[in-house]
Amino acid sequence: MPTEDELVQLYKPVVLSCARRYSGRGVEHADLVQEGLLGLVQAIRTHDSAKPASLSTWIVFCAANRMRGVIRTRRRQQRTTLLEETEWIVDSSSDAAADADLWDALAVVRRRMTVLQIHVFFAWLGIGHSKPLTISTIVKRHHVARQKVMQIIAYGLQLCRDHLGIDCNLQSVRIARACHSIAG
């Protein structure tokens, strides 16, 4: 019977194939391979030869499960980061200086974004709509992948941040409220 190290070397191509299947989903290929190899070791250690599933089937299941888990975790982290950056939307304070700064920032955003990006970002802010649209609504309306919508929002926020020279977490309460007063 082969040792654990021999089995890892023997089934490593299966893990690499599985990692190729999951690449392009927001996680680096090397990270997928690493998770897949952890799944491979787990599969080797937990495989029960009395069950009808072959070792290779069990390896694919365990490796793919680990890869899907890391993809889910990464997406959750991205959503959490996006939510943290946008917590300022709910505040109700606004003043004229914030409005002026906002219009300057939005002018820069309009010049540096494509038409689709402008539509997505402004819809998310609620500009041109009665209220800010959810990411799910934007995905449906503009036929854009959820991941792409989140990237566009992050890019728009970065442009605003760069133009205003401030940290959105500190000053953006006024900016966001100005967005809502302009939109409303």
Residues 6+ apart with CB under 8 A from 43: 55, 58, 59, 61, 62, 63
Residues 6+ apart with CB under 8 A from 28: none
Separation between Cα atoms, residue 84 and residue 44, nearest integer Å: 40
Q: Which residue has the higher pLDDT, 30 or 104?
A: 30
Separation between Cα atoms, residue 144 and residue 152, nearest integer Å: 10
Q: Please provide residue 103's backbone torsions phi and psi, each rounded to the nearest 5 degrees.
A: -65, -40
pLDDT tens, residue by residue, 127-174? 776 678 888 889 988 888 999 988 888 888 887 777 766 555 434 434
Of 160, 167, 170, 72, the C-alpha closest to 124 is 160
pLDDT tens, residue by residue, 58-103? 999 999 999 999 988 887 776 666 555 544 443 334 445 555 666 6
Q: Which of 39-48, 105-114, 174-183 has the highest mean pLDDT?
A: 39-48
Q: What is the per-residue pLDDT for 66?
A: 92
Query: What are the residue boundaries of the structural domains of the chain, listed by start?
Result: 4-77, 86-183
Per-residue pLDDT averaged across 119-126, rounded?
83
| CA 155, chain centre distance (Å) | 12
CATH class of 4-77: mainly alpha
